[in-house]
Amino acid sequence: MVVIKKVMNKIKYITFRIKSSVLVMTLALHIAPLSKPLMNLIKHITPSFAYVSKFTVASAALMGGYDTVSGASTEITSPSTAKGKVGENFVYRITTAPRSARVFMASPLPDGLKMGTGSLKSYITGKPTAPGVTNVRLTASKPGYGTVYKNISIVIEASGVPPEINSLKPDSITIYEKQNASFSVQASGTPPLTYQWMLNGIELLGENASSISLKNVNEAQAGQYSVKIENPFGNLTSGNYLLNVKLLAPAPKFTSISKSNGLINLKLDTVRGRIYKIESTESLVKSKWSIVRTIIGKGVNEVIQINDLSSNQKYFRIILAD
């Protein structure tokens, strides 16, 4: 230890102590600022000692702005959450502000990731090998300036393609009851794909294939069909595809025909939802049938009234049109 009692009028004492190859300088000033007497002092010591003294003074001025332990404001500013996918390139940069760090560490890291080196020393890079969430402790420092820390989460998601519908056939079906019907879908995406068919938005138990086959269909099975497709990376639901089921109907016939007050009254039994066309002609020899009425059956015995004041003779027939 070297003690200089008085070098200049404005300095009471200066103590230099060398310990573990680190120079610690303590200056106690009487009145004047530090800069001028210190520079005058440096002129009287060796060049190498002067260089270390200058560096130490500069370090002391900057350290308070970096070391958070001493109440500084410098901190790690990179995001608190980083996301990636298995097998895909992952890049995360550790940043600090307002001053930059020189040494960076992160631990623990997900499998497949590591700290970069050289110009990439502030980066976490690699290709993750497994999905999951890892809580990582970041460390950033600069020799002689202190260390700052931050906890982040690295979220690795499974890598794959969500399902996509390529086609669904047919768009719609119209059949008679007791017939068969089917819909099928072609979809792409990362396997495995799962399927769930629905009728009017309600899931159909056991219908979990890429196609649905309906046997001996009844009217209750009519409606809008759709399919939901899922895999580990997403899901989607198709649009609606219509199945129209027509009730079976016997050959139509009039149960009675009468005329009163210029109106012809035609009675017939109908089946609900079926389409009937009533046609007429004035001659069966040279018949020229024309449609006089089209009705949709109500499932009851119906009376159709036709205004006919101009002819003395007319023939009628009824056709099941659908």
Of 143, 141, 153, nearest to 75 by C-alpha is 141
Q: How far apart are CA 41 and CA 31, in angstroms?
A: 16
Mean pLDDT calculated for residue range 135-159: 94
Tokens encoding 141? 């420092």
Domain locations along the chain: 2-63, 70-157, 164-246, 254-320
The residue with tokens 């409606």 is: 223
Least confident of 57-71, 119-133, 167-181, 266-280: 57-71
At CA 27, angle to CA 24 and CA 30, rounded to 5?
175
Residue 57 in this model has a pLDDT that exceeds 80? no
Strand partners, 22: 19
What percent of the chain has a predicted confidence (pLDDT) above 70? Answer: 77
Dihedral over Cα of 283, 287, 291, 297: its sign: positive
Neighbours of 168 (CB within 10 A): 19
pTM higher than 0.85: no
- What pLDDT does 136 receive? 98
Q: How confident is the model at residue 70 (pLDDT cuts 50, 70, 90)?
A: very low
Assess contact for 231 and 202: CB atoms under 8 A.
no
Q: Which helix (H) or strand (E) holds 35?
A: helix 35-42
Q: How far apart are CA 116 and CA 110, in angstroms?
A: 14
CA–chain centroid gap for 75, Å, is 32
Tokens encoding 116? 């970069």
Strand partners, 301: 269
CATH number attached to the domain at 254-320: 2.60.40
Give 243-279 pLDDT, tens digit per residue.
Answer: 999 999 999 999 999 888 878 999 999 999 999 999 9
**Start-end of H helices in 249-314:** none
Q: How far apart are CA 180 and CA 28, in angstroms?
A: 102
Q: How far apart are CA 239 and CA 261, in angstroms?
A: 54
Give 214-240 pLDDT, tens digit per residue.
Answer: 999 999 999 999 999 999 889 999 999
Residue 68 in this model has a pLDDT that exceeds 60? no
The residue with tokens 């099928």 is: 184
Mean pLDDT of the chain: 81
Q: 70-157 belongs to which homologous superfamily?
A: Immunoglobulins (2.60.40.10)
What percent of the chain has a predicted confidence (pLDDT) above 90? Answer: 63
Assess contact for 168 and 96: CB atoms under 8 A.
no
Domains 70-157 and 164-246 share a fold: yes
Residue 35 in this model has a pLDDT that exceeds 60? no
Instruction: Please state which architecture CATH assigns to domain 164-246.
Output: Sandwich (2.60)
